[in-house]
């Protein structure tokens, strides 16, 4: 198992950050640069959850998002992934910051194949800076 952790500061309010995290409308592909329309599908949605496939030709995953607006938390449990298979996911914790919000992110990968294990092992070292830049862009305005 590999865990990649980072945080992003945003000028958005915590409520606005949660709105971005939980928006599964067609706007999602415009907001998140790593998600293209060919690899975005909402399979089901309800109060506090959504089952989606999202990503791009290089890397996509299908999973279940669950969130709690009051506690400002959201998680994605990965059911299927092109690169890593099932297991792991994303964990988001949003808190107040002096100029807006702080988003703490943890990405957990539980790969089974040899190549995926190597990639997952490198994620905390070489992936965190790129992921942080990508998230900072999404939550910048």
Task: Tell me the per-residue pLDDT of 71-126, one tens digit each, with 9 for 90 and over.
Answer: 999 999 999 998 888 889 999 999 999 999 999 999 988 767 666 667 666 666 67
Please tell me the predicted confidence (pLDDT) of residue 112.
73
Please tell me the predicted confidence (pLDDT) of residue 83.
82
Averaged pLDDT for residues 26-39: 95
Q: Which residue has the higher pLDDT, 127 or 83?
A: 83
* Percentage of the chain modeled with pLDDT above 70: 89
How far, in whole angstroms, is CA 78 from its chain's centroid?
10
Phi, psi of 86 (to 5 degrees): -75, 155
- On the 0-12 / 13-18 / 19+ scale of CB atoms within 10 A, 127 is middle
128 pLDDT band, cuts 50/70/90, is confident
The second-level CATH assignment, the architecture, of 2-138 is: 2-Layer Sandwich (3.30)
Please tell me the predicted confidence (pLDDT) of residue 109.
85
Please tell me the predicted confidence (pLDDT) of residue 88.
92
Q: Enumerate residues 6+ apart whose C-beta is below 8 A from 35.
A: 28, 29, 54, 55, 56
């Amino acid at each position: 198992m590999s865990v990649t952790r980072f945080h992003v500061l945003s000028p958005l309010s915590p409520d606005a950050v949660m709105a971005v995290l939980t928006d599964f409308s067609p706007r999602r592909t415009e907001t998140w640069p790593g998600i293209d329309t060919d690899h975005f599908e909402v399979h089901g949605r309800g109060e506090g959850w959504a089952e989606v496939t999202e990503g791009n030709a290089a890397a996509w995953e299908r999973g279940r998002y669950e969130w709690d607006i009051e506690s400002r938390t959201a998680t994605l449990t990965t059911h299927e992934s092109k690169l890593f298979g099932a297991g792991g996911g994303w964990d988001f914790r949003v808190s107040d910051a002096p100029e807006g919000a702080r988003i703490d992110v943890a990405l957990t990968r539980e790969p089974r194949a040899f190549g995926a294990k190597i990639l997952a092992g490198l994620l905390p070292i070489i992936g965190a800076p790129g992921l942080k830049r990508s998230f900072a862009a999404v939550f910048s305005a």
